[in-house]
Structure 1
Amino acid sequence: MAYAYYLLCILLLALFLSALNTAQALDYRTQIDEKLKNLLIEAVADTSSFTDRFDAEVWLLDMSTRMAKQVPNPEERLEILRYVHQEASRVDLQPELVLSVIQVESNFDQYALSWVGARGLMQIMPFWLREIGHPNDNLFDIQTNLRFGCTILSYYLKIEKGDLFRALGRYNGSLGKARYPNKVLKAMSSKWYEQ
């Protein structure tokens, strides 16, 4: 039964990809190739943060296509996306919000280093490693960085009682100023929630 379901999912994904290519429904200047299709099939095998395998396939394909300009390597894109979904879901954040924060913070550069020393995709300050007693953790590691960033953002969202604008300002250290929250919200509405 599970094998038949898996084959059905693969067939549906192939049909979906075929329809997208034929209709040229995606205008992200990226061709969906066989390698990407196979990577997606492998990626959805790890569905730890997805409740439905088909949802995983659709989300990973959509977000991977949107991210192709920033991260040309399909394996790297899927690794980031799996961890974004996993870590965002772990702390009840929307994965698209996390993608928006990453776009503004590092533009998906895993090794980004700010002038004040913030590191990685979500630009985490290294003092947190000492604070929690993990001085040897690597903030350039995708999962570690996302775990820290998502945990911090979720905490600030709770402190601000769901006020995303204020939570984003707090995350960036610019509470009370509009520039950073507006950039993240614009990225979210124009790229990651774009229909």
Structure 2
Amino acid sequence: MGLLTRRHCLLGAGAWAALAQLPAQAGAQIEEPLIDSVRSALQAAVNELSPPEPIFASTDSRLQYLRWLTATSDKLRKRMPDWEVRRDFLQTLWYEATRAGLEVSLVLGLIQVESGFRKFVISHAGARGYMQIMPFWTRVIGDGDPGKLFHMQTNLRFGCVILRHYLEREKGNMYLALGRYNGSRGKPQYPNAVFAAQRQWVFQAQEQI
């Protein structure tokens, strides 16, 4: 789909001080040097407070997106009952995954495995939010505030950019990239779990409205 971007103001609600620290199925990403493009992408996410609003190059591409949004929202309703929260989450996830050149269904599968779609979850290793981002990533970009990892767009941007970074390091091998993301490179359990979860989020033609 052709995509341009525009920002609209929608501030996140709730203070992260009252978050529920439930266990998450996350490993531990390893701190490492970043190339400038990755660092810039992460910094931009920290500076943005509002979710991206997609603008489409054609009516067909917009209809395709709306069909995906409707079908995926129906699947996600039990985990995210509030429609506005669910819409903003899916809109932002679609944008960030597409921006990073990742399959949207794969990112949804990763989030299901990592956090069970819980925004404020913290793992035993200290990883935070939907995509279970390690706090050291905020130090890498010079911000150092791990609380920002509970902001929806920041968390999704970090997760997608980091996964893309690992995918490039692994020369396109998603199995190894997922293992690196989870800190379990070379072990099959985590990549296989993400691939299995991904199948639940693949958008099928029969789901179109």
The TM-score bracket by the shorter chain reads 0.7 to 0.9
Equivalent-residue separation in structure 2 for 1:106 and 1:181 (angstroms): 15
- TM alignment of 1:1-195, pairs within 5 A: 46-48=53-55, 52-136=61-145, 138-189=148-199, 191-193=200-202, 195=204
SS in 2 for 1:47: strand
Give the letter for the 2:121 counterpart: A
SS of the residue 2:125 aligns to: coil
- Shift of residue 194, structure 1, vs aligned partner: 6.3
Structure whose alpha-carbon radius of gyration is higher: 1
Residue identity matched to 2:105: E
Compute the TM-score of the two structures, normalised by the length of structure 2. 0.68
The answer to whether the 8 Å contact 2:121/2:130 transfers is yes
Determine the C-alpha separation between the residues in 2 that align with 1:50 and 1:107. Answer: 33
Structure 2 unaligned spans of 5+: 1-51, 205-209
SS state at 2:143 partner: coil
> Would the aligned equivalents of 1:89 and 1:95 in 2 still touch at CA under 8 Å?
yes
Identity of aligned residues (%): 47
1:113-135 residue CA offsets vs partner (Å, 9 max, x unmatched)? 11111000000001110111122
The answer on whether the counterparts of 1:49 and 1:89 sit within 8 Å (CA) in structure 2 is no
**Contact residue 175 and residue 191 of structure 2 kept, 8 A:** yes
Contact 1:100 1:192 in 2 (8 A): yes
Q: Specify which structure has the higher proportion of helix.
A: 1
Q: Does the CA contact (< 8 Å) of 1:87 and 1:150 recur in 2?
A: yes
Pairs aligned (count): 150
Larger RCO (CA within 8 A; separation ≥ 6): 2
Whether the 8 Å contact between 1:104 and 1:187 is mirrored in structure 2 is yes
8 A contact 2:92–2:156 mirrored in 1: yes
- Kindly provide the CA deviation profile for residues 109-166 of structure 1, in whole angstroms up to 9, marking residues without a partner as x: 0101111110000000011101111223600011000010000000111111111111
